[in-house]
Every structure is written in structure tokens, then in C-alpha cells.
Amino acid sequence: MKRVPRIIAMGGSSFAANPDNPRLERYIVAQARRKQPAVCFIGTATGDADVYLAKFYAAFTRIGCRPTHLPLFARTPDLRRMLLSQDVIYVGGGNTKSMLAVWREWGIDAILREAWREGIVLAGVSAGAICWLEAGVTDSWAGHLAALPGLGFLKGGACPHYDGEAARRPETHRLVGAGAMPATLSLDDGAAAHFEGRRLVRVVSVRENAKGYRVTRVAGRVVEAPLPVVRLTRSGALPSSR
């Protein structure tokens, strides 16, 4: 039976920043609905930094996965074969503009779209969150935030670190108000948006005050609307409905 396409976009506070609280990672892995799922890390946005890779392996080995990573700055394997054999593909943070340029050169953007349609869980933090949408608010340029076209798997725009970096909220409002960004999903550090198909099914969080927002322009005015949030349990599961 064909699996539903799923994307989980994290605003921040991933395993690299918060290794003792892997609830979001547990939640992501659970969506594979398979014991010991194969999880591939793509660290292109930091140039496959060794420290980031080490943190990935340490975190995902502890939560019962079969981790691997996709190298693009050393000998690169058969990309399609490797990526389509995964249960989860997790994209790290860093320079979004550089990451997307390298992906397009290697044809990874097309392979990821195929993986998404096949139901492989796509996930990521910061650059690895905004890349899936039509546009993202990025700090790829030193000194300022800007709008950047994404892969367009999902409609609208996205902004990570909404409460973690002081410039994020006012700059997102400015970009949406100026028409440089479409309606934008903004995610605090510790919050993640779970999409099935192109539909946002829930926002989950691991911090008490972490939220998600929809920032839109209505009649020439910028409107920020908070979204319902579900707080994950210590195990990374949804709370019981009983």
C-alpha cells in the first residue's frame, strides 16, 4: 500500500542544539511506522561538517535507528539508490542557498520529490525545514535576512527560529507585508509542523511556550495568527486522548 507523503519541518532546537531532549527526533522516526527505520542525514548546508555528522550518529543510534549520511563533498554514492532506500531523510541546518544550489547541481531536488511522493518521511531543521516550501526566510547572507525560493513541495513560505533570533519576527512581517514572501508558516525553536500531502495536520512542540504561527497579508496589513500546538510527551509521542 502506498504511503502518504509526509514532511516534518522543525523551527529549531534539534539534536545538535539540544542532545538531551530528542523528543522531536523520536516523533519524526515514529512516523516511519517501522522498527529500526533507516534514517539518512543530509548535511549539505554545513558542507558535511564532521561535528554535525558525529552528533547525528550519536543521537539517532540512541533512538533505535539505522543511521547513515549522504556525502556530497567526498566520494558520492548512487544518489537515487541511496535516498529511495531510506525510511526517513533528515536535512540539517546551515546555509540554505548553498545547499539548494548543490542539490540542483546533483539532481537531488528531483530525487527528494520522488522520495516524498513514495512516502519516505522528509524532515529537517532550519534550512532543512524551509527548503520544502515555495519560499523561506533565510540568513544565508551575512548581516541580514532575506526571502529565498525553495523546492515548492509545499505551498507558502516558512521561517524558522521565530522566537530564537530577535530579527526573525519583524523581518518576516516586513517581507510578507512587502509581498516578498507568501503566507508564511513561522516556527519557534522547539516547534515542528507535520504535513501529510500538502495539508498541515498539526504543530507539535517540546518546549512549553514553543508555537507556530501563520503570517499573512490581509487588506494591506500583516496579520500573525497562532496555530494550535500539541505538546509531545517525554517519549516523543502524542499525548493520550483518554
**Residues with catalytic annotation?**
126, 161
d(CA 101, CA 81): 21
Q: How far is CA 220 from the centre of its chain?
A: 30
Concatenating the DSSP letter of every residue in 53-120 gives HHHHHHHHHHTT-EEEE--SSSS---HHHHHTT-SEEEE--S-HHHHHHHHHHHTHHHHHHHHHHTTP
List 196's β-bridge partners, or say none. 6, 199
Residues whose CB falls within 8 Å of the CB of residue 94, separated by 6 or more in sequence, listed in order: 43, 44, 45, 46, 47, 49, 126, 127
